[in-house]
Amino acid sequence: MKKTSPFFWHVHPSDRAAMEEETCRGLFANGQGICMGSGQIWLLDPGYASDAEPKLEIIAISGVTKDS
């Protein structure tokens, strides 16, 4: 997520840090998606198991403020 995105600033600082500091080596994946940090951010390719072009979408972020 780009730091210029307005949504970025509504995410709890610890979750922002998880997004900024994550490396490919620290990712965890299972049938529910791809996890960043310690479960703070979950990504999923909605076209998985289809012929659609791969893309990742954020499906869950913990720590989003009520102002988002």
Within 13 Å of residue 2, how many CA atoms lie on the same side as its CB?
3
Model confidence at 5: pLDDT above 80:
no
Quick check: 38 and 64 in contact, CB under 8 A? no
∠ CA 36-46-35, rounded to 5°: 10
Rounded Cα distance, 18 and 1, in Å? 11
Domain ranges within the chain, ordered by starting residue:
6-61
Model confidence at 67: pLDDT above 80:
no
Model confidence at 31: pLDDT above 70:
yes
Region 35-45: what's the mean pLDDT? 83
What pLDDT does 62 receive?
77
In percent, the amount of the chain with pLDDT more than 90 equals 0
**Mean of per-residue pLDDT scores for the chain:** 75
